[in-house]
Structure 1
Amino acid sequence: MRIGELAKITGLAPSRIRFYEASGLIQSVERKANGYRDYSDDAVWILEMITSAQAAGFTLDEIRHLLPVSSQGWRHDELLFGLKRKVEEIEVLQQRLARNKEQLLMVIDGIESKPDGMPCVDNTQRVLGRLREEIALNKANASPAK
């Protein structure tokens, strides 16, 4: 199939498909006598795997190592290792995001619960003090026990 049809099926711009090809993520295709690239049907599912992996947070280099080596399939152990490593990275990111959310909610609460009559500059110091304490407590709890 030609690149326009592949682009339409996958929803990717032809330039993106050519980029993936130049990056070695999809196999280079032979050009016909008329100069058009002729992609196999496998190119559709390879491109879908690439875009799904990118949406899951994989870099192009990581994807390159996870794609099937040939029509004979994947490198099983390398694929499993890469997938498990990405799950671990996502879990660490989720923990960091949860801490960030807690801190933001604490700041919002500190701003909304400003005591009547307290100047904003004093409330800012109060909120920042609570935030510093929370950050120090999180660091202390995250440190490995000796």
Structure 2
Amino acid sequence: MRIGELAKRSGLATSAIRFYETKGLLPPAKRGLNGYRDYPAETVAVLAIIADAQQAGFSLEEIKQILPADISSWRHEELMDTLRRKVADIEAMQARLKESKAHIESLIRLIEAKPDDMGCRENASRVMASLGLSKGK
């Protein structure tokens, strides 16, 4: 199948397909006498795997490491280890994001706790002092 048809079937731009090929995620396409790329039908599935993996947070290098040369011959243990590591990475990121969210929400509450008779400049000094960031420190 030519690259235009592959692009239509995969929903990806031809430039993305060429990019994945240059990065080694796709084997080089065979070329006809006319120079056109000719891709096997299973390339559509490989491109779907690449797109799904990217959306799940895998880098192109990680995807390249787990994609088999032949789509019918996955390296099961390596694939499972990589997937488990990605889940652990996501869980660690979720924990960091939860901490960041809590810190920001605490800061919002601190700023909003400004006494009615206090101006913004004084409130900023109050907030900075409560965070241990006052000018005297």
State if a TM-score over 0.5 links the two structures.
yes
Q: What amino acid is the match of 2:31?
A: R
Identical columns (%)? 50
Go from structure 1 to structure 2 and tell me whether the alpha carbon gap of 1:31 and 1:49 turns closer, same or farther (over 3 Å shift). Answer: same
Following TM superposition, the consecutive aligned residue runs of length 4 or more in structure 1 with deviations greater than 6 angstroms are none
Contact 1:10 1:48 in 2 (8 A): yes
State the distance in 2 between where 1:56 and 1:130 align: 40
Contact 1:30 1:38 in 2 (8 A): yes
Deviation at 1:131, TM superposition (A): 4.8
- 1:22-37 to 2 correspondences below 5 Å: 22-37=22-37
SS of alignment partner, residue 30 of structure 2: coil
Deviation at 1:69, TM superposition (A): 3.2
| TM-score using structure 1 length | 0.82
Contact 2:24 2:64 in 1 (8 A): yes
Match of 2:111 in 1: 111
Q: Single out whichever of 5-14 and 43-52 deviates more from structure 2.
A: 5-14
Match of 1:51 in 2: 51
Higher helix share: 1
SS of alignment partner, residue 31 of structure 2: coil
Match of 2:11 in 1: 11
Structure 1 spans left out of the alignment, 5+ residues: 133-146
Match of 1:102 in 2: 102
Q: CA RMSD in A?
A: 1.8
Deviation at 1:80, TM superposition (A): 0.8
Deviation at 1:117, TM superposition (A): 1.1
